Amino acid sequence: MIEGTRPRPGDDLAGRLRALLDHGDRDTAVALFQAEVVGLPAHIIDGMRGSPMWGWFTGLAHTLPYDVILCRPGMRLPAGRLAAVTVPVLAIGGGASPPWLPAAARAAADAVPGGRYVTLDGQDHGVLQQPGALRPLLTSYFGAE
């Protein structure tokens, strides 16, 4: 997360997620992550629980503490680690995403030497479910045209 774009999760978030998962409570772990990291309000999270995607989220719940640990307490951008990346990086932000998401993607690209940032107009985080929207950018970037 980029400073000033929204409140940071508590430094103890990874531990709280791990405790929930240790007790088998994948549902609450996902809800906690969605609330504190993604910043979704409770009514949106409650609505997501009824969607097919919720099962996908809970199936990956065991990875959430690792996401938090990799980004350090408070989900701070690991600029020092990113500065050491030596492979090409393309960070993509959606023009229809909450502003903090493309801001974080842009900051990640800026932290990587030679990193590149691109905004996909009209897209949000759900673009991952729309390969047709990503295909032209990715084939161009990887030289597969």
pLDDT at res. 73 = 67
Torsion over CA of 94, 98, 99 and 102, rounded to 10 degrees? -30
In the block, residue with structure tokens 């900051």: 107
Q: What is the pLDDT along the chain (145 residues), one digit of tens a residue?
A: 555 666 677 789 999 999 999 999 999 999 999 998 888 889 999 999 998 889 989 999 999 998 888 776 667 777 888 999 999 999 999 888 888 888 889 999 999 999 999 999 888 877 777 788 889 999 999 886 5
pLDDT at res. 115 = 94
Strands (E), 9-137: 90-94, 116-120
Tokens representing 114 are: 């030679």
Q: Please, what's the b/e burial string for 42-64 (b: 16 or more CB within 10 A of its CB; e: otherwise)? A: eeebeeeeeeeebeebbeebeeb
